[in-house]
Amino acid sequence: MSMRRIFVAFAFLLTAGTAVAQDTGLGKPLSESDIKQWDIAVLPDGSNLPRGSGTPAQGARIFAEKCAGCHGEAAKGGVTPYWPALSGGQPLTNGIDTVKTIANYYAYATTIFDYVRRAMPYNMPRSLSDDEVYALTAYLLVINKLIGEGDVMDAKSLPQVKMPNRDNFIMPYPDRL
Amino acid sequence: MRLWRRRHGAPSLDIVAGNGLVNRRALLGGGVTVAGSLAVAATTTAAAAEPLADAPWSLAVGDFPAPVQTPSSFEKDVTRALSNPNGELRTAHARTPHHRLGGTITPNGLHFSINHGGIPNIDPAEHELVIHGMVRQPLEFTLETLSRYPLVTRTAFVECAGNSAPMFAKEPLQTTVQMLHGLVSNAEWTGVPLSILLDEAGIDPAAKWLIAEGADAQFLDRSVPVKKAYDDALIAIYQNGEHLMPGNGYPMRLLLPGYQGNMNVKYLRRIKAINQPAYSYFETKNYSQILPGGKTWRFHFLMEVKSFITHPSYGLSLKQPGLYAISGVAYSGTGRISKVVVSADGGKSWGEAALQAPIHDKAFTRFVMPWRWDGQPAILQSRAYDDGGNVQPLRAEFVAMRGEASRPVTTPLAFPNQHYNSLTSWSVDDKGEIKHVYA
């Protein structure tokens, strides 16, 4: 085979896409168990929620201790202009600048769990136990009247919480997904 | 109307649209002189010239080069505008001073930056990027191993979805182009195509989404369509030829050309292939939009075709009548800029501006339009078109579709809504003072 033919054959392999993906040896193989500590994203259907549980009453105590310093007593805001109230909210028909809240905006309750676990408290991320995160999530849902005082939040109950704004979203460019 | 050409074949300073817009081909080379064709300029510089003398900096030995050079001491006001200068525990924005820059590449020190959880001080030798989830073999990469791939380079703008948000105000805020539009910048990025790494890990064809997650103190994460990853996504490790700035994602970030800035996840540490979007906090709340009537847009990733005039603009007043260049930047998340038109009479008439080459896909293109200001009031506007057939909407069109803030907007740091891409208008009064107006 001439050098030119070899080159053409090689170029074909390169352009043939995923079917001939080459192992470069540059990526270090891992197992999913190696990644467990990092694998924190929770999906709307509840997949990847951890074990554990929490109640609104437990959450209220944790909130007073670890969250109210910024978000205000009973999550009513007012400490600084930058840290919002976490309860209530106006109807979205009030204007395009309506303040987005858990009650008037979020599509899935799993987002609350996910964000509190990955990013809160702001200056001590990842310091809460999974039980504490479930409890805080339950507390935030109760003060927004989305679950009852006696409801326990865990991997099974949290994805079942019906969020009022869930069916109000439209996608501008569905063909691009 | 072209009356005559000069001997080099360059166009004259013909007026092509109302209020003094001049043929865009004028003064772009070819030895054109302006003598004789600028009657209005005769009123400009009346003072007699001083005899020339040697300046003091020519008469003494100057400074010697520093290991990393910084701009001239006379440029000390060319800085980013900070929303959180005292480092309070909240999001911090740094806005690019477009009215003090030329060309298309944003210098690294002036590239805009938004950090929701502070800027992590990452040791590149310890940073790891993991690709896992719906893949045949989870893989881990480092800056060192990524650097061994044949890297690719491209230019791309990155724009916060909240850029230009003050323009949702019912009344135009009197502030600079930096405060209105400083959350977009443009750089040359170098890195590894994400598709190469996904192929290497063996992504499952059933995976339609990726979670991209950073190593910052929010572990900021966004859901990204796999389709975009295979279109033009990069794991970027260089920015304008040097490793990324800490505020822009050092040592590695996701680059999704044309998609909202927040999705271009910085400090990238993890990509997980999944079968549904994660509805992370930022895609759930901040970066989705309320529409008039109360419906909401989700997954509005595209930063659509847009332009704004940087010179002249608010804060840069005109000293005297005569010739000026109206100049600004145009860009589109849906392709290359194909045309920019400029008006000096508030949109009554338009002239086509010159575009500075090269014109890259999903990148800044600078437009220039010579303009003879006659000393009378004028309203300057630009409007961009891209090669996908998209055009920047007029303000009335935009407001009809997207609405205006219901409450007064008192600061340019506010974000009443997201994804503003309509026109910006600067009015010039008879003293040369420039205001921000809606027209």
Which chain A residues contact residue B138 at CB under 8 A? 29-32, 34-35
What is the phi/psi pair of residue A66, to 5°? -115, -10
Give the integer Cα–Cα distance in Å for A18 and A30.
21
Give the model's pLDDT for residue B368: 98
Give the integer Cα–Cα distance in Å for B256 and B265.
9
Which chain A residues contact residue B290 at CB under 8 A? 92, 95-98, 100
Residue B392's CB is within 10 A of a number of other CB atoms, namely 25
Q: Which residue has the tokens 């054109």?
A: B32
Q: How many domains does chain B have?
A: 1
Contact B290 A98 (CB under 8 A): yes
Contact B278 A169 (CB under 8 A): no
Chain A: residue nearest B404 by CA? A96
Chain B: residue nearest A22 by CA? B200
Lateral strand order in the sheet of B289-290: A169-170, B296-297, B289-290
* Cβ-based neighbours of B205, under 8 Å, separated by 6 or more: none
Q: Is residue B217 part of a domain?
A: yes
Q: Which residue has the tokens 């009247």?
A: A145
Chain B: residue nearest A170 by CA? B297
**pLDDT: is B82 or B45 the higher one?**
B82
Is residue B335 within 8 Å of B384, Cβ to Cβ? no
Q: What token pair was written down for B202?
A: 């063996």
Cis (ω within 30 of 0) for the bond into B205? no
Give me the DSSP letters along A62-101: HHHHHTHHHH-GGG---SSSSS---S----GGG-TTPPP-
Q: Please report, for residues A51, A113, B251, B397, the alpha-carbon distance to residue B351 in angstroms, rounded to integers and kept in the order given.
A: 64, 54, 44, 21
pLDDT band at B30 (very low <50, low <70, confident <90, very high): low
Which chain A residues contact residue B402 at CB under 8 A? 96
Contact pairs from chain A to chain B, CB under 8 Å: 187
Q: Is residue B272 part of a domain?
A: yes
Of A26, A96, A97, the CB nearest to B145: A26
Dump pLDDT digits (tens) for A117-153. 999 999 999 999 999 999 999 999 999 999 999 999 9
Min Cα–Cα distance to chain B from A28, Å: 5
Which chain B residues contact residue A98 at CB under 8 A? 290, 406
CATH of the domain at B202: 3.90.420.10
Which chain B residues contact residue A92 at CB under 8 A? 290, 294-296
Mean pLDDT, all residues of chain B: 93
Burial A4-24 (b: 16+ CB within 10 A, else e): eeeeeeeeeeeeeeeeebeee
Chain B: residue nearest A127 by CA? B217
Residue B37's CB is within 10 A of a number of other CB atoms, namely 19
Could you tell me the pTM of the whole model?
0.92
**pLDDT: is A5 or B263 the higher one?**
B263
- Lowest-confidence range among A6-20, B7-21, B246-260? A6-20
Q: Is residue B221 part of a domain?
A: yes
Dump pLDDT digits (tens) for A39-64. 999 999 999 999 999 999 999 999 99
**pLDDT: is B34 or B58 the higher one?**
B58
Is residue A138 within 8 Å of A54, Cβ to Cβ? yes
Dump pLDDT digits (tens) for A149-170. 999 999 999 999 999 999 999 9
Q: What token pair was written down for B146?
A: 């990524």
pLDDT band at A81 (very low <50, low <70, confident <90, very high): confident
pLDDT band at A21 (very low <50, low <70, confident <90, very high): low
Is the C-alpha dihedral spanning B141, B250, B199, B190 positive or negative? negative
B-contacting residues in A 143-162 (Cβ below 8 Å): none
Contact B291 A95 (CB under 8 A): no
Give the integer Cα–Cα distance in Å for B252 and B236.
6
Contact A119 B217 (CB under 8 A): yes
The arithmetic mean of pLDDT across residues B348-353, rounded, is 97
Give the model's pLDDT for residue A82: 87
- When scoring B91, B134, B218, B296 by the number of chain A Cβ atoms within 10 A, the one with the most, hence best to mutate, is B296
Which chain B residues contact residue A42 at CB under 8 A? 278
Strand, coil or helix: B145: helix
Name residue B115's beta-bridge partners. Answer: B92
Name residue B141's beta-bridge partners. Answer: B129
Contact B145 A27 (CB under 8 A): yes
Give the integer Cα–Cα distance in Å for B223 and B279.
7
Of A18, A21, A41, the CB nearest to B272: A41
Min Cα–Cα distance to chain B from A38, Å: 8
H or E element that contains B114 = strand B113-115
Percent of all residues in chain B with a pLDDT value above 90, rounded to a whole number:
90
Mean pLDDT, all residues of chain A: 88
The alpha-helical segments, DSSP class H, found in B249-309 are: 281-284
Dump pLDDT digits (tens) for B149-168. 999 999 999 999 999 999 99
Q: What token pair was written down for A91?
A: 């109807």
Min Cα–Cα distance to chain B from A64, Å: 19
Min Cα–Cα distance to chain A from B18, Å: 36
Which chain B residues contact residue A177 at CB under 8 A? 208, 225, 227, 299
Dump pLDDT digits (tens) for B273-305. 999 999 999 999 999 999 999 999 999 999 999
Of B139, B199, B405, the CB nearest to A30: B139
Give the model's pLDDT for residue B124: 98
- When scoring B227, B269, B284, B302 by the number of chain A Cβ atoms within 10 A, the one with the most, hence best to mutate, is B284
Q: Is residue B110 part of a domain?
A: no
The arithmetic mean of pLDDT across residues B380-386, rounded, is 98
Q: Is residue B353 part of a domain?
A: no
Strand, coil or helix: B151: coil
- When scoring A34, A128, A167, A177 by the number of chain B Cβ atoms within 10 A, the one with the most, hence best to mutate, is A177
Residue B372 CB-half CA count within 13 A = 22
* Cβ-based neighbours of B418, under 8 Å, separated by 6 or more: B161, B162, B165, B260, B286, B287, B288, B289, B300
Dump pLDDT digits (tens) for B37-48. 444 444 445 566
Q: Which residue has the tokens 């539009």?
A: B181
Determine the CATH number of domain A26-171.
1.10.760.10
Contact A43 B274 (CB under 8 A): yes
pLDDT band at B216 (very low <50, low <70, confident <90, very high): very high
DSSP conformational letter for B61? -
Check CB contact of A81 with chain B, cutoff 8 Å.
Answer: no
Give the integer Cα–Cα distance in Å for A115 and A155.
15
Give the integer Cα–Cα distance in Å for B180 and B183.
8
Contact A123 B297 (CB under 8 A): no
Q: Is residue B85 part of a domain?
A: no
Q: Which residue has the tokens 């005109």?
A: B318
Which chain B residues contact residue A38 at CB under 8 A? 130, 213, 269-270
Is residue B178 within 8 Å of B115, Cβ to Cβ? no
Supply the range of the domain harboring residue B264.
129-166+184-287
Which chain B residues contact residue A100 at CB under 8 A? 285-286, 290
Min Cα–Cα distance to chain B from A66, Å: 15
DSSP conformational letter for B302? B
Give the model's pLDDT for residue A15: 43
Contact B280 A111 (CB under 8 A): yes
pLDDT band at A13 (very low <50, low <70, confident <90, very high): very low
* Cβ-based neighbours of B119, under 8 Å, separated by 6 or more: B113, B216, B246, B247
Q: What token pair was written down for B168?
A: 């949702």
What ipTM describes this predicted complex? 0.90
- When scoring B279, B295, B297, B390 by the number of chain A Cβ atoms within 10 A, the one with the most, hence best to mutate, is B279
Q: What token pair was written down for B278?
A: 């994660």
Min Cα–Cα distance to chain A from B117, Å: 8
Nearest to residue A140, comparing CAs of A167, A122, A114? A114
